[in-house]
Amino acid sequence: MKIGVNLTHLNNLNSGSKTYFENLFKSLLKNDHKNIYYFFFPEKLNLNDFSFLKKKNCKVVYTKLPQQLNPGRLSFLRFLKIYIFFKNYFKKIHIDIFIHTSLPLIRNPNGKTISNIFDIRYLYKEYEANLFKRIVYMLILKYCLDNSEFTITISNFIKEEIKKKFDISYTNLKVFYCNIIPQKKLKKKNKNYILSVGHYESRKNYLNLVKSFFILKKKFQYSGKLIIVSNNFTKKNSVINYIQKKKIQRSVIIKKKTTQDNLKKLYADADLFVFPSTYEGFGLPILEALMQNCKVLTSNIKVFREILGSKFIYFNPYSPRDMSEKIYKCLSKNNSLFNKKNNQAILNKFSSNRISHDYLKFLNRL
């Protein structure tokens, strides 16, 4: 079969979506030597992370489409360019299965279409204040669901959200979790800091994280630092304003750029990894932290409980005080919840070999 994978939504910044498809196909292509894959990328994308595509059954197609610098936001002009490109391409090459990884949906006129929906946050007022845009997103998602042979989501939480929001029971919804490739565990060097990783968005809840850190220092006399790795952190925002107001600039470090190797070291050396989000489709940094035997503490939201289960501690993401108390509890050396056995059980559930095997089996059945 000829399988097309549209990755034109990617850019040169690290993201959960980018890591998802990188890990998935890096593992899948180790076992699939029969199907022919066409990977479509935007112009000027650095493909160092996709060097594994240098295989006989892989064809890399550089399009003239610009990188999507603001993932999740719709651009009619950009979509029009994508639509025209693939309309012309499908006339030249017959693609049996087309995996479309962004919205709006591009349909495959010659074969089957698989769409991907990683979250539906823009349907909620908390994450998209503009009513007109929420209605547009609703229509785009409905079209996507109705015109794909299958739609892939990355958690049962998102699958159930889609069913509930559209008041239907789609039988073509499939869950393929985010996956993690086994990594060498680095030797831990205790450097006395708390770590958080993710894009700068309101749902990432960094303001409450910094507030909880301030309480942690004042009430519990924590002497370490807070490191936030966020490649799109702006110079002026409510988080920066709070840091300056409380005069904790020396204790809170914002890292805008870091390599994957440096990120692994940050996980390995951290006292604790904290994920304070109010909404996520999955939460790949959790697996990255566990891979380096880093303690993990997350907000009490459904998808994090789906990943970690009942053997971990959770906090109320809207309460900096509760967050600070749970952080202090996790930092205790006597905390028995964190052990390598628990970590490995979770990593096994989301291993790249296991998930890519199921994904390939799914493709071959179509």
Give domain limits for the chain: 2-180+351-365, 193-349
pLDDT per residue over 212-271, tens digit each?
999 999 999 999 999 999 988 877 799 999 999 999 999 999 998 888 899 999 999 999
pLDDT per residue over 15-49, tens digit each?
888 999 999 999 999 999 999 999 999 998 999 88
The kind and range of the H/E element at 272 are strand 272-275
Q: Which CATH superfamily is domain 2-180+351-365 in?
A: Glycogen Phosphorylase B; (3.40.50.2000)
Q: Please state which of the ranges 50-54, 135-139, 308-312, 331-335 shows the lowest mean pLDDT.
A: 331-335
For the domain made up of 193-349, the CATH class stated in words is alpha beta
- Between the alpha carbon of residue 50 and those of residues 176, 248, 339, the distances in Å are 20, 39, 33
Mean pLDDT, range 283-302, rounded to an integer? 96
pLDDT per residue over 272-290, tens digit each?
999 999 999 999 999 999 9
Q: Is the dihedral of CA 54, 59, 60, 62 positive or negative?
A: positive
Distance of CA 58 to the CA centre of its chain: 25
- Bridge partners (DSSP) listed for residue 299: 315
Do the domains 193-349 and 2-180+351-365 match in fold?
Answer: yes
Edge to edge, the sheet with strand 97-100 lists: 58-62, 36-41, 2-6, 97-100, 112-116, 150-153, 173-175
Cα gap 284→21, rounded to integer Å: 12
Cα gap 76→72, rounded to integer Å: 13
